[in-house]
Amino acid sequence: MDDLQEILEDFLVEAFELIEQMDQDLVELESHPEDLELLNGIFRVAHTVKGSSSFLNFDILTKLTHHMEDVLNKARKDELKITPDIMDVVLKSVDMMKALLEAIKESGTDADCGIEIEEICAKFDAISSGKVVETKEIPEVIEKEEAPEANMEDMSDEEVAKEIERLLAQKMEEKLAKKAKKTTKTNITTESAAEQLKEVKAKTSTKETVKPIAKKTPSTPEQTIRVEVNRLDHLMNLIGELVLGKNRLLKIYDDVEERYEGEKFLEELNQVVSSVSLVTTDLQIAVMKTRMLPVAKVFNKFPRLVRDLSRDLEKDIELVLTGEETELDKSIVEEISDPLVHMIRNSCDHGIETPAIRKAAGKSEKGTVNLKAYNEGNQIVIEIKDDGAGMDSEFLKMKALEKGIITEREADLLSDKEAYGLIFKPGFSTAAKVTGVSGRGVGMDVVKTNIEKLNGIIDIDSELGKGSTFKLKIPLTLAIMQALLVSTQEEYFAIPLSSVLETVRISMDEVYTIEGKNVLRLRNEILSLVRLSDLFGVKQIFDSGEHAYVIIIGLAESKMGIIVDGLVGQEEIVIKSMGDYLQGIDGIAGATIRGDGGVTLIADVAAMMHLAKDIKVDLTQQATNSVSQSKSSPSDYNVLIVDDSKTDRTIMRKSLAPLGVTLTEATNGVEALNILKANEISFDAVLVDIEMPQMDGYTLASEIRKYSKYRNLPLLAVTSRTSKSDRLRGVEVGMTEYITKPYSPEYLLSAVSKNIKLPVEA
Amino acid sequence: MSIQLEEVLKNQKGQINGEVGNDIHEENITQLVGFIVGDEEYAIPILNIQEIIKPIEYTRVPSTPEYVLGAFNLRGNVIPLIDLRKKFHLASRNQNNETRYIVMKEGENIAGFVIDKLTEAIRLKESQIEPAPETISREKGMISGIGKRADSILTILKVDMLLKRDF
């Protein structure tokens, strides 16, 4: 039973592949009915399936394919002309073959699966006996010399069937022999027998396919092996780790370069680092490529779809495919299939007009839908373009108002492009009645959700009367991506670069308020605006000031602006799961590990847009409202003294005593930094000695300045180093003031009180 | 030297035999690791501990309860970090030299927990562990039992409950 199961599995795999091919060929055949080559190919498929299914005792499938074969054979011998009506029957029978095969896959038999084939068999009979054949048309002349050729192929098919039979018999024998021995080797040998079988099958099938092709275009068989997707996933994970290692190495190199400037070993290190980084990148691309599949995998089912649609809708539509060879990550190819089906249905149903209308508009009766795929940078673009009616933004707005999707005020504010975007809203439909093809208002919502899932962007262009173009921009791969790293207060976030449209620096004056929401006018667009820190509940430690960086993010068809405090840069990041415990947090898509070993969260752009709707913080109000914590007495002010000498610390303490401010002491840079990091006291100024053990004043200052919240903290260098270069270095690392020893107590006092903005007592 | 060595070996042998004997002839022994959070001593089964590390930097994760401090990088894996003081509704305290992260694991779930101080590895016989009194409801099913020792008692926590997301 086991080996029969194996044969069955092989049969199913082969049959599904063959039928997929058949589907394409049939649609092709309809436009080139005289192509005997195609017809022969289709006939062979029917024949092969018939042969194997009769061998495996699938009677219903055999009967169906037998009838189909009859008709095709007649057509092949030019006794029958393939009309669209006959094609309908043939295509329907192909669908039935698929259904039967599915049933076999499920239950192992095609009996009692509830698929009725009698009717279609009768139709086939009628066709082949010539009753429905339209003989009105003049039969086309086809060279008769092709016939014997076809017979030969006939033979080879029978050979295949025989070969399978022979091998099965052989395997049965082997198995019986092994069973008698009752050794554990049984499995291995049957496996090898199965392999043998596969090999032979492969050979015969190459024989089959190569022969007809060889007549026209000589081609070599593909040199491929099948690999489990799991293995590729694992490989991809490992590469991810390597990329993280590379990032880390680059970061360390940068640090080392800064510290040991001009040292000889640096150059050597540089060479190693760059070569490792280069190889890693290449490796990453190579592995990514192994996961790539041509878009054709998805595209190929569309000719049939369009053909059926145009028959249903009584329109004349031609689908033109370009760039099918463009490659995409396997997981993405699977995800875009559904959205594309909906987009194409949409174009055929709403885009292309009926032949009569087209003629009246002065267009050719045949409408065209172009489906095109091409690469653009790190993205792949899939373009669906029709030469139909185009979209009327006013009409769309009206419909949306009718259905209560938008308010009148919103409608007024919408630009043309935004109005086109309305078609992606759930429940939106312009169809007057629900048909088999459209009208439920679900399809385009599916498109939007799926494209969002992939971090993709939908761009719509339309001209009334000329047609519409939809562009889907999708990242090439999901595991490793380019991200823009941004900071808000002390926290960093990574935003997928595929969703970032641009970054701009604005002044807070440019922020307007419409209906309680902040918006930014960017060129001709009005974009809603939120602060990243409000989205993610980051505490406002310091005020970002007059200017702000805005990141314009786009997802599917919508756009918005996000205010951040700083742009860190672009980096290649590897998406890591945060485990079950932190899975599915709103607004967070995952985490990544940065070059410094820290964890950075990756923003989920779709969720961010959703979160933004509920944010009611008025930025224009906040800018003026930011009042610093009230400090009533001088002792509310905190000053940190960092000096290794006890005497110096005492002198400073004594000098500052009249001010009455609270003083904290640290004996070296490390200690001071820890006090600041602990964040227990918020300091108003720091007095720093330059020469200290463990960490000197310069290093301390530059470390302090790394924290955004201490960006404006007054740092006063108190030192006996007086040379100009020392002063310059002080400015470089961010010292606010440079006080040279010895100093008068009054001088220090005034410098400190000036810097902490101590109110002069009245 | 050789005498000393022999003695050591003999001791070790005795220990091994003794242990084996204990396990077989007496009752099952549970190995736990004890730690302190606040004023109380807690313990978790040693087999649930992946590792114990000194505090390292972590990243805050938004939209989580206060006791979820964030996530940290443990040799390339992103692990959630949970503050047990906050989880047990105790006043928070700054980390010090004795603070540790215990990385606990139960099946696929993994998380780091901030504790105040490690105590020791503890071996308890089954008879020394009592089921949690029903009146204790504060930690809602987080307690698997109470361990009795000569001079103290300790609360044995359920790791699977600790690792369960409850928000």
Selecting among A40, A47, A557, A755, the annotated active-site residue is A47
Chain B: residues touching A (Cβ < 8 Å): 57-64, 68, 70-73, 76-80, 94, 108-111, 163, 165
Counted domains in chain B: 1
Work out the pLDDT band at A543, boundaries 50, 70, 90: low
- The CATH code of the domain that includes A19 is 1.20.120.160
Minimal C-alpha gap between B155 and chain A (Å): 24
Angle ∠(B99,B104,B107) on CA atoms, nearest 5: 175
Residue with tokens 């590379």: A246
Sign (positive or negative) of CA dihedral A709, A714, A720, A726: positive
- Establish, for the pair of chains A and B, how many residue pairs have beta carbons separated by less than 8 Å: 74
More confident residue, A430 or A196: A430
User: Are residues B71 and A536, on separate chains, in Cβ contact within 8 Å?
Assistant: no
Residues of A in contact with B57 (CB under 8 A): 598
A399 lies in the same domain as A516: no
Residue among B66, B78, B167 with most chain A CBs within 10 A, to mutate: B78
Q: Smallest CA–CA separation between B66 and chain A, in Å?
A: 12
- Residues in B touching A600 (Cβ below 8 Å): 59
A18 located within any domain = yes
Contact A578 B80 (CB under 8 A): yes
Q: Does residue B139 have a pLDDT over 70?
A: no
Q: Alpha-carbon distance A291 to A296, whole Å?
A: 15
Amino acid letter, A707: Y
> Other CB atoms closer than 10 Å to residue A209's CB: what's the count?
15
Phi, psi of B62 (to 5 degrees): -70, 170
User: Does residue B4 sit within a domain?
Assistant: no
Write out pLDDT tens, residues A467-493. Answer: 889 988 887 767 678 889 998 888 899
SS3 assignment, position A133: coil
pLDDT at A198: 54
**Given pLDDT bands bounded at 50, 70 and 90, which one contains residue B46?**
very high
Same-domain pairing of A248 and A316: no
Question: Per-residue pLDDT tens for B123-138?
Answer: 888 888 888 776 655 5
Is A37 or A640 the better-scoring residue by pLDDT?
A640
**E-only strand ranges, A583-633:** 588-593, 599-603
**Is residue A91 assigned to a domain?**
yes
What's the number of domains chain A is made of? 5
The more confidently predicted of residues A382 and A521 is A382
Q: Is the pLDDT of residue A184 over 50?
A: no
pLDDT given for residue A738 in this prediction: 83
3-state SS, residue A68:
helix
Q: Is residue A224 part of a domain?
A: no
The answer on A184 and A151 residing in a single domain is yes
What pLDDT is attached to residue B34? Answer: 92
Which range marks the domain in which residue A136 is found?
2-216
Q: pLDDT tens digits for A77-118? A: 777 777 777 888 888 888 888 888 888 877 777 776 677 777
3-state class (DSSP) for residue B39: coil
In a domain, A761, yes or no: no
Mean model confidence pLDDT for chain A = 77
Q: Do B76 and A593 touch (CB under 8 A)?
A: yes
Does A626 have pLDDT greater than 50? no
Per-residue pLDDT, A402: 82
Q: Which residue, A421, A450, A475, sits at the end of a domain?
A: A475
Shortest distance between the Cα of B103 and any Cα of chain A, in A, equals: 13
The CATH code of the domain that includes A502 is 2.40.50.180
Lowest mean pLDDT among A93-97, A582-586, A707-711: A707-711
Residue A760 belongs to some domain of the structure: no
Inter-chain CB proximity A537 and B62 less than 8 Å: yes
Q: Which residue among B68, B76, B109 places its CB closest to the CB of A580?
A: B109
Partner residue opposite B78 with nearest CB, options A492, A585, A593: A593
Domain boundary among A625, A653, A677: A625
Is B13 inside a domain boundary? no
Beta bridge partners of A60: none
- The answer to whether the Cβ–Cβ distance between B73 and A578 falls below 8 Å is no
How far apart CA A65 and CA A50 sit, in angstroms, is 5
Shared domain check, A735 and A702: yes
| Residue A389 in this model has a pLDDT that exceeds 80 | yes
Q: How confident is the model at residue A183 (pLDDT cuts 50, 70, 90)?
A: very low
Q: Are residues A200 and A168 in the same domain?
A: yes
Strand A367-376 relative to strand A317-322: parallel, antiparallel, unpaired?
parallel
* A2 confidence band (pLDDT: 50, 70, 90): low
Query: Residue A151's pLDDT is what?
Result: 45
Q: Of residues A40, A67, A69, A571, which has the active-site annotation?
A: A69
pLDDT in tens, A631-650: 667 777 888 888 888 888 88
Chain A residue at shortest CA distance from B111: A581
| Range of weakest confidence among A131-145, A288-302, A524-538, A710-724 | A131-145
Please give the pLDDT value at position B102.
93
What mean pLDDT is predicted for residues A359-386? 86
Average pLDDT, rounded, for chain B = 82
Segment holding A130, helix H or strand E: none
Nearest chain A Cα distance for residue B96, angstroms: 11
Q: Which of B62, B63, B109 has its CB closest to that of A581? A: B109
Instruction: Among A49-53, A257-261, A621-625, B43-47, name the one with the lowest average pLDDT.
Output: A621-625
For the residues A60-82, what does the mean pLDDT come to? 79
Is B80 close to A588, i.e. CB distance below 8 A? no
Residue A455 among the catalytic residues: no
Residues A531 and A574 in one domain: yes
CATH number at residue A251: 1.10.287
Write down the pLDDT at residue A431.
66
Tell me which of A160-164, A256-260, B64-68 is least confident.
Answer: A160-164
Q: Shortest Cα distance from B127 to chain A (angstroms)?
A: 34
Judged against a pLDDT cut of 60, whether residue A179 lies above it is answered with: no
Task: Answer yes or no: do A42 and A159 share one domain.
Answer: yes
Calculate what percentage of chain A has a pLDDT beyond 70. 81
Of A491, A587, A593, the CB nearest to B63: A587
Do A579 and B63 lie within an 8 Å CB cutoff?
no
Q: Are residues A255 and A307 in the same domain?
A: no
| E strand or H helix at A41 | helix A36-55
* Domain assignment of residue B117, yes or no: yes
| pLDDT band, residue B18 (cuts 50/70/90) | low
Catalytic residue, candidates A247, A346, A450, A518: A346
Is position A370 annotated as part of the catalytic site? no
CB contact under 8 A, A582 and B72: no
A402 lies in the same domain as A340: yes
A557 is catalytic: no
**Would you say residue B50 lies in a domain?**
yes
Same domain for A113 and A35: yes
pLDDT digits (tens, 9 = 90+) for A111-161: 766 777 777 777 777 777 765 544 434 344 444 334 344 444 445 555 656
Residues A34 and A60 occupy one common structural domain? yes
CA angle A302, A303, A305 (to 5 degrees): 60
- Our CA-based measurement puts residue B79 at a distance from the nearest CA of chain A, in whole angstroms, of 6
Q: Are residues A436 and A581 in the same domain?
A: no
Q: Which pLDDT score, from 0 to 100, does residue A140 have?
A: 41
- B64 vs A contacts (CB less than 8 Å): 582, 585
List of residues 6+ apart from A359 with CB closer than 8 A: A365
CB contacts, 8 Å: A536 with chain B:
62-63
Nearest alpha-carbon partner for B41 in B124, B107, B110, B106: B124
First to last CA, chain B: 62
Cα(A587)–Cα(B64) distance, integer angstroms? 11
Q: Which residue in chain B is spatially nearest to A586 when comparing CA positions?
A: B63
How far is residue A677's CA from residue A690's CA, in Å, rounded to a whole number? 20
pLDDT of residue B101 exceeding 90, the answer is yes
Please indicate whether, in this complex, the C-beta atoms of B78 and A577 are within 8 angstroms of each other: yes
Per the model's pLDDT, the better-predicted residue between A410 and A651 turns out to be A651
Which structural domain, as residue segments, surrounds residue B152? 27-162
A222 within a domain of the structure (yes/no): no
pLDDT at A601: 92
Residue A628: pLDDT over 60: no
CATH number for the domain that contains residue A299: 3.30.565.10
Q: Give the residue-averaged pLDDT of A666-678.
A: 83
B8 within a domain of the structure (yes/no):
no
- pLDDT for A130: 67
The CATH number linked to B149 is: 2.40.50.180
Give the rounded percent of residues in chain A with a pLDDT score beyond 90: 3
